[in-house]
Amino acid sequence: MKPYQKVSIQECGEPLVAIPLAKFAVVSPHPYAALGAPYGQFSPYFLRQTVVEKLLQAQTHLQTQKLGWQLQIFDAYRPISVQQFMVDHTFAQLANAAGLNPQNLDESERSRLQSQVLKFWAAPSPNPHTPPPHSTGAAVDLTLIDSGGTVVNMGSAIDEISPRSYPNHFASDPNPNASQYHQNRQLLSNAMSAAGFSQHPNEWWHFSWGDQLWAYQKGGSAIAQYGNAHPLSPISISP
């Protein structure tokens, strides 16, 4: 259990609603669906209603700083089955990169790889007290697009399993491009925090509002408003 998962949840019952994708840039095709993640009839392009409203506020703030820039949506709502698929996929990727067979690991190798994966991915828990952030409809992964439609360079790819993914990794890096990467990350972070979002401590791209991680970062007696989301009807995966 991660520390933030000790935060109490008082589910408010707010519905998942479609992200108005015409107002944002969108990664297409959806990266996890393209890998074969089992969304079934449900879509990643949904969030809780208040979270969508705050996402629009964040983009408005961004555009006061950078005219014509947009948030680019990478991923949002994630059923637990998709969370499991992506955790397994990432585990296998790391094993293969290390020259290991993910189906034939000793206990030490498996533990080491699992530890790496879980620094970035939440466990796909069905326990209603410990939902993965994306399964609550409260979390969104995103980056920036400039006024010319070009993806802004953040210094590392979304979902990269390395210290380069930490939000402030480039703050004191001697790389000649590090200062620009850090400024770009700060621009994204500032836009999202202006709308009330909290940022994942290990991921420059992950922000949430209303879930356990958000409440934990707020501190005090804050409680989470969102547990596992349950769509009431099938929702299309197409952007």
Q: Which residues are annotated as a binding site for Zn(2+)?
A: 134, 141, 206
> In sequence order, which residues have a C-beta less than 8 Å from that of residue 140 and are 6 or more positions away?
47, 51, 55, 73, 75, 76, 206, 207, 208
Distance between CA atoms of residues 3 and 85, nearest Å: 24
The annotation places the binding site at 134, 141, 206
Q: Is 127 exposed, middle or buried (0-12, 13-18, 19+ CB in 10 A)?
A: exposed
Helices (H) and strands (E) in the chain, counts: 6, 7
> Bridge-partner residues for 142, per DSSP?
73
Say which of 11, 14, 53, 203 is annotated catalytic.
203
Q: Is 53 assigned a catalytic role?
A: no
SS3 helix, strand, coil % of the chain, rounded to 5? 40, 10, 50
The tokens describing 61, both together, are 């703030």
Catalytic residues: 203
